[in-house]
A = this chain, B = another copy of it.
Amino acid sequence: MNSNRLEQGLQKLHEIDGEAGQAVINSLQHICPDLARLTIEFPFADVYSRPGLDLRAREIATVAALTALGHCAPQLKVHLNAALNVGCSEEEIKEVIIQMAVYAGFPASLNAMFAFAEVLEGRAG
């Protein structure tokens, strides 16, 4: 049932993104509660809850994709935090970002690295 997907999605969202994820959902609630719900249900209940790939690998994939796409700075920051939350090391995340220079070019890689600097500063602060 839908209420189960929503609960399952919220639980997974909190496991991965913590407060940053909840903050995004809260902002969405004001402008479009349906998109807030869909953003919890499909990505977190339908996809991230699936077995077959551990959360560390899932976050490595997401950081890679958002770095390569290049136009998703807010979501990239959420997932750079998420990658640290689920156990990726700083070094591993930097390696993913460096590697994206090969596939999406240096600008994508540099912008993601500067976003990571802000994320690390935010966690240290």
Residues of chain A having any CB pair with chain B under 8 Å:
1, 24, 27-28, 30-32, 34-35, 38-39, 41-43, 46-48, 50, 52-53, 57-58, 60-72, 74-75, 91-92, 94-111, 113-114, 116-117, 120
A67–B95 Cα distance when bound, in Å, is 19
Interface of A is mostly: helix
Task: Supply 27 A–B pairs (Cβ within 8 Å), ascending by A.
Answer: A27-B114, A31-B120, A32-B94, A34-B98, A38-B98, A41-B46, A42-B42, A42-B102, A43-B106, A47-B98, A47-B99, A53-B99, A60-B60, A60-B61, A61-B61, A65-B65, A65-B67, A69-B70, A69-B71, A70-B71, A71-B107, A72-B103, A72-B107, A74-B111, A75-B110, A103-B107, A104-B105
A65–B99 Cα distance when bound, in Å, is 10
Which single member of B42, B61, B94, B111 contacts A52 (CB below 8 Å)? B94
Which single member of B28, B38, B97, B106 contacts A103 (CB below 8 Å)? B106
